[in-house]
Chains A and B, each alone.
Chain A
């Protein structure tokens, strides 16, 4: 969350349906909010090219001609019992720019969208959230109820790639952690099996010089930590922290320090992150 948070100005914030020409701003917003969300082609594929797309089903929040929020409706029938359809709508790609969060803008957007969905005859509305995320908790307060779904499975073929991807995603979703670890990026190393890489490499800013061994902090992960790590991406902050502690307790993840000073450095960062959250 930015320190220079813009105050809500209801008179210059508007909620309106999508118009042609909004695409670039929407995709920029989604990439700001979700990191590696995707390209204009992906957005076009999901929305304008979708067989049920209608321009009035995509909503944006606009402030001073800048799009700061987005969410879309997908109308689809559900079949409860054979032959018995209920018109329903799914919500997708809910995003509010980080600088404008905590001002109730998403609630206002949702109100407008649910009214539109109801006017079009939808009997039920569905949405998907990261478990225990702020949005998940918030949805319960808005009267949303959890629905049981069949299990999903993942087959990991290259665990080191999955680890790197999960870490990058985690750092994007936790900017406070990323900021805190930024000046440790040259000395923070991850090891999984035969693969080792530094945080600087992961962030694409590694230089050629050899690391200072005394500053080195190594996070050594056992293969048995993979089942927990694959779920990292779909966890809320608190759950992530608990799972991390669990991995350390079971010694599926270990920390190795080049010196006592390196330990103090990491501990200090840990305290600053804990203090900021």
Chain B
């Protein structure tokens, strides 16, 4: 099990994702809809290079649907072998349809040739509290290197935090009602901030249309550049199990 968790974290390192744990994997595998034959592991030279967990559900009108609730692989050849084994298993189980989420980092177009795109629903998100999110977003090397020594007061919705950026790390303090004189100040609503972070809104456009406001003209350009760098570039990886 630890090797599967390590594989998950390794393959998903570049994408935002729900943390994978031994407990959550064990829970998925022990589900009554997952049989022992429904767990697949790919190995190359004795090393785990991929795994898949398949659950079988009965949908309206008795449709037998196989859901590949987890599929993680490091390389295309393992993905091919896993999908081949799953197809074989599904034929044996007399399954009517198979649903899967494309694994990250692998060009899966050839593997899923003949499969149809399937809408599993829209994922929506909302910020509840900012400090931990801002800390995580600022904690990338390119931001720490480019903006070391700067301080930003984020006034987002009803929350206000001051982030101090150094080459070593990020220091977040709740600014409360006290004005923080050394910090450059940014004002925005919570959903505007989240839209910028998720790449749904360009910070320059948001500034021009008054959706965000930066105090002090000389701070505007670098804060907008910082916001652009805070954008999460890659899609949020959610397995089929997360979406169900």
Contacts and interface: CB of A to CB of B under 8 A. Distances in A.
Interface of A: 35-36, 41, 45, 49-51, 76-90, 114, 117-118, 121-131, 136, 139-140, 142-158, 161-162, 164-165, 167-169, 172, 202, 226-227, 230-231, 234-235
Given A149-B236, A158-B96, A124 B119 contact: no
Contact of A84 (B90, B114, B136, B242): B136
A234 B123 contact: no
A231 to B, nearest CB: 5
B125 A125 contact: yes
- The dominant DSSP class at the A interface is mixed
B124 A157 contact: no
How many interface residues does chain B have, given as a range? 35 or more
Interface in B81-100: 87, 90-91, 95-100
Contact of B116 (A81, A130, A154): A154
- The dominant DSSP class at the B interface is mixed
Contacts of A81: 136, 139-140
B97 A85 contact: no
Contacts of B26: 51
Nearest to A142: B126
Interface of B: 9, 12-13, 16-19, 21, 23-24, 26-27, 31-32, 59-64, 87, 90-91, 95-104, 112, 114-133, 135-137, 139-140, 189-191, 194-195, 198-200, 232, 235-238, 240, 242-243
A167 B237 CA distance: 30
15 contacts: A45-B31, A51-B23, A51-B26, A78-B16, A79-B12, A84-B136, A123-B127, A125-B128, A143-B189, A145-B125, A145-B195, A148-B235, A148-B236, A154-B100, A161-B61
A89, A125, A140, A202 pick with most chain B CB within 10 angstroms: A125
A159 B140 CA distance: 47
Contacts of A139: 124
A50 B27 contact: yes
A153 B100 contact: yes
B157 to A, nearest CB: 9
Given A121-B129, A154-B98, A202 B121 contact: no
A136 B140 contact: no
A127 B242 CA distance: 10
Given A118-B129, A168-B60, A79 B124 contact: no
B97 A76 contact: no
Nearest to B91: A157
A76 B128 contact: no
